Structures are given as structure tokens and as C-alpha cells.
Amino acid sequence: MKSFNVPVHYRSPLIASIKKSRKEADKMKKDFSPTLLDLGPVQIYLARHFGFCYGVENAIEIAFQTIEENPGKRIFLLSEMIHNPQVNADLQAMGVQFLQDTLGKQLIPFESLTSDDVVIIPAFGTTLEMEAYLNSLGITTSKYNTTCPFVEKVWNRSEQIANKGYSIIIHGKPKHEETRATFSHARANAPAVVLNDMNDAIILADYITGKKPSEDFYEEFKGRYSEGFDASKDLQKIGVVNQTTQLASDTQAIADYLKQQMIAHYGLTAETIATRFADTRDTLCYATMDNQTAVTAMLDTPADLAIVVGGYNSSNTTHLVELCEEKLPTYFISGPEKIGDDFSIEHFNFHNKTSSVTPNFLPENKPTRILITSGASCPDAIVEQVIYKVASKWGVAESIKF
């Protein structure tokens, strides 16, 4: 796989050594057990896979290269390039300005842009409409486009099945940048609708099978279907694609459920299912699946608590938190600064979008067992700093090595 040039301060010698060793011992990535850092009074288990994915490293390389190549020019990001506070803060410190927030709210008037400006497309991609608008201003978007190749793969697969007459069902958070971009690309080629979760899939199945009158569809899925969508016709032949940072198991469960509903309703067989339902398993992101599988395997290890590091608006990171919360007390933090010198911890609750402080969050039992992972947009250096901060509780930070 390609090696990217990203700022050295995002790297971690410790974690680089761990990842290199694990890769050499497990080239086929079949071993998802965590890596143990046995520090005596505290045992830290690191997930087999975590941190920067291919798409994130690609985006960071392009963004910093763009800054280097355009001295004196105004440089804008359409929105946060990735959902990581440290990386976005670094870009802003270098003069990059954000045109929109993550929900698409305008922060800087687009009317102020000129053809001399540089606009970087974030890793989530953007809508066809936004690309066309920027191009109409004389701003070339293709040159500074950091869209993740695996997001583009979803778009390409959507177009392929659309050309075969399938409508596109998108599993994604309706307000997420990536979902908005994928919806734009999908609806350009076929009828499209966005499902947030399995509950939406169950509701949609009632329209597929005729249990609900098609005219009610437009209110239940208001704002989430393409213009001209005909619920009486456009649900007869479908394919499911995803927002790549969703739980892969959730996307697969939604696809499997809708597939079974189609089979039962139309009396299909294994030989005839493709006439109504497209096989789109190849749109699931490998990095998302690896990180989630690694967390699932890590949770088989007896532990006292879990720490998940990453941006609070990062979809893939919140899903790792979700997995950990099912089994252990879990602390979601953006960096080591959230752990106080008194070992209180300020952690984020993604369910209600609030932060709270837990005093003395590290238990006294020995050895204390802690599971640690991070999202796909979190620098390894941040994770290393968290490890050292935790280890300092027992005065063993200096003994960390691998």
C-alpha cells in the first residue's frame, strides 16, 4: 500500500514499532487480538488496528502539499477536512479557512471567493452541485480534492447499479457530509433514499411489501429522497450502499433485512434475487471494518475500562465507543489534555452531545487493565500521549517500550 508524506508530529515511534511488528507477524491480517503493553501495575491493551486510514493519510498529504505549493494565496477548506480537532487546528494555524461547518452551514460567504483562491475538497467528498458552483467561480476543485478513494468507490458502485435499473438505498447519517455527498452522486443516476438505521429499514420494507400506502412514504422520509422519487415503483429493484464510517455490521444487517423482505415479497430464489436486489458488499470500507473487528476482538480481553481517542464529531470513532460501551466503562476523549494531573477525566457522551468530568477514573486494583483504541482520523502521536499520561499514574511511563 502507498506510503504517504504526513507531518512527523502526527507519528509515534512507539506505535509505529508496534504496528510494524504486528504487520510482519500477521501479513494476512487474520489475528485481531490486541497488543499488550505490560507495565506491571497497569496493563494496556491496544487494538490490533486503529488510527490513520488510507483515506485520511491521503487527505493530509494533499492538504499540506497544497499549502506548500500556494504561498500567498488564500486557501479554504470546504468544511473540516477530517473530523479530528488537532489536524484541523494545525491547518487553521497555517492560514486555512473553513467555508462551512460540518452540517453545511456557511461560515464565509461564497460570494467572496475569486478564481485566484484555492478550495480543498475534504475527505468526505462533496455534492455535485457544490463542485459545479465552485467551478462556475473559476475555482478548480479537481486539483485539490482529498475525497477518500473508498468513498469514491461507493459512488462508482452506485452508478454501476443505477445503470442496471436499481434504485439506491444509502445507509448513513442524513446530515453527515459524506452522506450528503453520496446522496448527491447517487441521485444523479437513479432514485435514491437515505436510511439512518435499522428502524428506517423496517419502515422502508413496509413500503416495499405494500403494508403501508406509498403516499405516506413522502412524509416519513421527508428530506431524504431524491426529486421525483416514486415510492410505488422505485422500491421494486434496489441496492444498498453505505456511508463508509457507519458500523459495517449495521449496514450489512440492513442490506440482509431488505434482501429477505424482497425474497419473501417477490418469491425470489438464490438464482433470481439479482433481478430485484444488487450485491453491494464491496462498498464496505476495509479500514472501518478492520478497526471495528479489532475492537470486537479486544473486548474479549478482561479489562477494567476502555479509552477511545478521537474527534467528537467523528462517525467512525463514535461507533468504536458504541462497541466498547456494550461491555465496559468507556471514556471518549479527544486527547491527553482531557486527563488531569489529578487523574480526573473529561469525557464526551456522544448520545447527548455533552461532556462530563469523572474524578479518579483509574481504579486502584493491580494490575489495572485498560483497553485503548482510536478513530481513523486520530494521529498515533495523540494515542501515544494518552498512553504515557495513563502510565504516569503508576510512575511507569519511562518503562514503556515495545
Model confidence pLDDT, tens digit, residues 204-251? 999 999 999 999 999 999 999 999 999 999 999 999 999 998 888 899
Active-site option among 177, 178, 322, 384? 178
- CATH of 149-283 given 3.40.50.2000, 3.40.640.10, 3.40.1010.20, 3.30.465.10: 3.40.1010.20
Q: At a CB cut-off of 8 Å and minimum separation 6, what does 299 contact?
A: 306, 323, 324, 326, 327, 328, 371
Is the pLDDT reported for residue 6 higher than 70? yes
For residue 99, with 0-12 CB atoms within 10 Å meaning exposed, 13-18 middle and 19 or more buried, which class applies?
buried
CA dihedral 338, 344, 348, 352 (to 10 degrees): -150
178 is annotated as an active-site residue: yes
Is the pLDDT reported for residue 167 higher than 90? yes
Q: At a CB cut-off of 8 Å and minimum separation 6, what does 243 contact?
A: 170, 171, 172, 173, 176, 178, 179, 182, 315
What is the number of residues in the chain? Answer: 402
Q: At a CB cut-off of 8 Å and minimum separation 6, what does 132 contact?
A: none
Task: Give pTM, 2 decimals.
Answer: 0.92
Q: At a CB cut-off of 8 Å and minimum separation 6, what does 263 contact?
A: 269, 273, 277
pLDDT at 1: 63
Is the pLDDT reported for residue 150 higher than 80? yes
CATH architecture assigned to 54-136: 3-Layer(aba) Sandwich (3.40)
Is the pLDDT reported for residue 66 higher than 90? yes
Q: What does the alpha-carbon distance between residue 27 and residue 360 come to, in Å, rounded to a whole number? A: 40
Strands 277-278, 354-358: pairing kind: unpaired
Q: What does the alpha-carbon distance between residue 318 and residue 323 come to, in Å, rounded to a whole number? A: 9
- CATH of 8-53+287-399 given 3.40.1010.20, 2.60.40.60, 3.40.50.10860, 2.40.50.100: 3.40.1010.20
Where in 20-123 does DSSP place strands (E)?
A: 35-38, 42-46, 75-77, 97-98, 118-120
| Ordered DSSP codes for 252-283 | HHHHHHHHHHHHHHHT--TTTGGGTEE--GGG
> Quick check: do 8-53+287-399 and 149-283 share a fold?
yes
Place of cell 504516569: 392
The more confident residue out of 103 and 388 is 388
